[in-house]
Amino acid sequence: MPVPRGLVTFAFLFVAAAFAATVGLRVPIQPTSTSYTPGVRAFLELLAVGGCATWPVGRLALSPHGWRPARVLLDLVALVAIVQAVLWPLQLVTYWPPARGAAIDALLVGWIAACGGAVACGMHAHGWRRTAWAIACIAVVAAGPVADALGAPAPVPALLGPCSALLDVAPLHPGMPGPHDWPVIAWPWILACAAWAAALRAARPVHAGLAHDPGIR
């Protein structure tokens, strides 16, 4: 399968715009972790919006029905590679030790993988169901901040989506991940496994039907 060049190009442009809008292109007068960490946190929030809402909605809107899960997985691998390329260098200018950086990485990639599973499921849906999968990805991004604004108790907002979870796992102050961080980090991976299992189940009848069609060689 060819590399999704259009997606990679758009992702790099999105990352560049997000970086310029949050971290900035000028070095601060006092380039310390105190000055960089708030911008990096905002940058991570925009990465979550891009990976969990912009990509799923765009892919479901523009790609043909019946894409195999492998095509969506290739998209996912490309996006995760870009996340790794930008996340770890930025971790060096914050307070976060490597263990905290790994926790942030696992959380962000987990939510992108979960939304990737939703995309794979949506590729085999028709009509309003395909739209519903796209709306679900938007809801994943919006639900946490909305619940937080409504005063939902912790850790409910962090379990509803990546935006609130990132604010918890990527704090303004230095420190190692605590026991309360790991359930929040593990939750999107559970959702991702469930979504990809559902996508593979939905794709199986299509492939089985093609395999038994005498007109296909």
pLDDT tens track for 35-60:
899 999 999 999 999 999 999 999 99
Overall number of domains in the chain: 1
189 located within any domain? yes
217 located within any domain? no
Q: 94 near 36, Cβ under 8 Å?
A: yes
62 located within any domain? yes
160 located within any domain? yes
173 located within any domain? yes
139 located within any domain? yes
Q: How far apart are CA 191 and CA 118, in angstroms?
A: 10
Q: What is the DSSP string of 23-84?
A: T-SS--SS-SHHHHHHHHHHHHHHHHHIIIIIHHHHHHHHSPTT--HHHHHHHHHHHHHHHH
pLDDT band at 207; cut points 50, 70, 90: very low
77 located within any domain? yes
**pTM for this entry:** 0.90
The parent domain of residue 147 ranges over 5-212
Q: 37 near 95, Cβ under 8 Å?
A: yes
Tens digits of residue pLDDT in 90-119? 988 898 889 999 999 999 999 999 999 999
Q: How far apart are CA 110 and CA 100, in angstroms?
A: 15
